[in-house]
Structures are given as C-alpha cells and as structure tokens.
Structure 1
Amino acid sequence: MSNYESMIIRQRKWMLYWLAILVLCAGFLPYTRIFLGLILGSSVSLYNLWLLQYKSNKLGETVAAGRKSRTGLGTFTRMAAAVLAVLIAMRFDEYFHLYAVIIGIVSSYVVMMLDYFIYHFILRNGKED
C-alpha cells in the first residue's frame, strides 16, 4: 500500500472516530443542539474529504497516464455541500446550532493537519524515506 493510500485510510478513519464521538456526546450530554450541528457539519466535511481524495486520485492517474485533465478537484461541489449544510441549519435552527455546523464543516481540514503532524513529526521522527 502506498503512502497516499494509507494517508487516505487514516484520515477517513479519524473522521469516522470523530463522528462516533459526536454521536455519543449528542446522546449523553445536555448540549444536543450543539452536537447535532457538529454532526451535520462533520458529515458534510467527511463527504467533502472523500470527494477531494477521490478527485485527487483521479487527477493523479490522469496525469500519470500522460493525458490532459478535463475536470477539476470539485471545488464548486464541495462549496455547494457546505452551503447546503448551512441552509439546513438555518432552516431547522431548533435542532442545529449554526456555529457548530460551521465548525463541523472545517473538521476534515483539522484532521488532515493533525494527520500530517502526527505522521511526519511524531511517528516518523523526521526520518527520510
């Protein structure tokens, strides 16, 4: 398995762990509205992470084959998903906390940064391949 594939698996795994923790917190803690907002935002964030990884993989395969890429990385689709989550939170504001949804949307980027720092600086101890 390549480093890229193991990175993808690690990041998706951490996002699923994060979602599981949020579901448990929503079930047992009294701040249900905040945790439901975090769950909604993090779910959209997981979808955006998956889409970014999928499109990046396809772009890499296209470039490696020597062809020109006709598609982008899905920026518009990822932005539309984030806007949809915010609109859902605004429409159903009695169930979802708007700021928690926004924080949840950026959770995949936090996971990507943490994965990078943990893998490159702690687990590998700065060794070169």
Structure 2
Amino acid sequence: MTDYATMANRQRKWMLYALAISFAGWGLTDYKPVFAGLILGLLVGLFNLFLLQKRVDVIGEKAANNQAAKSFGMLSRFAAAILIVVLATRFPEHINLFAAIAGLMTPYLVIMIDFIFHHKETTTTKRGE
C-alpha cells in the first residue's frame, strides 16, 4: 500500500471515530439538535473527503502518465455544503446550523492534524545525525 493510500485510510478512520462519538452523544445526551447537526456535517464531510481523496489519486496517476487531468471537483463539495445549510435553516428545531458547519469542516482539520503528526513522525532524527 502506498503512503497516500495509508494516509487516506487513516483519515477516513478518524472521521468514522468522530462520527461514532457524535452518534453516541446524540443518543445519550439531551443535545439532540447539536449532535444531529454534527452528524449531518460529518457525514457530508466524510463524503467530501472521500471524493477529494479519490480525485487526488486519479490526478496523481494522470500526472505520472503525463496526461491532462480535470479539476478537484470543488463544485460538488460546495453543493453538498449548500445542502447542509438549506437543511439546517429549514429544520432549525432538529439540526443546529453551527454544529453542522463544524462537522463539515472537521475533515479539513483531520487532514491538517494527520499531516502534522505524520510529518513529525517521518522527520524526527536524533541530535547530531
């Protein structure tokens, strides 16, 4: 498995952990609209992360073969974000808008944190070497 595939699997795993914690919070607490918004945002964020990872993989293969590649599909990710906002504003008693937006932004936070830890792990050397 390549380093990129390992990284993509690790990021999806962390997103699924966050989703499981959100489902537990929705089921066990009285903050159902907050956790419902978080779950909705995390689901769409996980979908967007999956799309982004697949398109990066395709673009990387095309670049290795000196072929032209399409864009990263920003329009579909924006459309998913707009859908979340529409649902949260249509049903504010069931879905918290701010929690949904926080859930939507979580994959990008996961990517940054994963990069920091992976970069730290691969570049640490002993003093004097």
Q: Give distance in 1, aligned partners of 2:75 and 2:38.
A: 22
Code of the residue aligned with 2:119 in structure 1: it is: H
The Cα of 1:32 is off from its aligned counterpart by 0.9
Q: Give distance in 2, aligned partners of 1:68 and 1:124.
A: 31
- Runs (4+) off by over 4 Å: none
Q: Which residue of 2 aligns with 1:34?
A: 34
- 5+ unaligned residues in a row in structure 1: which ranges? none
Alignment: residue pair count: 125
The Cα of 1:94 is off from its aligned counterpart by 1.2
Q: Give distance in 1, aligned partners of 2:92 and 2:20.
A: 23
Q: Which residue of 1 aligns with 2:117?
A: 118
1:88-107, aligned counterparts within 5 Å? 88-107=87-106
Q: Give distance in 2, aligned partners of 1:48 and 1:78.
A: 6
Q: Give distance in 1, aligned partners of 2:42 and 2:29.
A: 18
Q: Structure 1, residues 8-39: CA drift from partner, whole Å, max 9, x if none?
A: 00000000010000000110011111010000
| TM-score (normalised: structure 2) | 0.92
Secondary structure at 2:39 match in 1: helix
The Cα of 1:125 is off from its aligned counterpart by 5.5
- 5+ unaligned residues in a row in structure 2: which ranges? none
Q: Give distance in 2, aligned partners of 1:31 and 1:78.
A: 27
The Cα of 1:124 is off from its aligned counterpart by 3.6
Code of the residue aligned with 2:55 in structure 1: it is: K
| TM-score (normalised: structure 1) | 0.92
Does residue 19 of the first structure (1) align with residue 13 of the second (2)? Answer: no
Q: Give distance in 1, aligned partners of 2:54 and 2:124.
A: 28
Code of the residue aligned with 2:36 in structure 1: it is: L
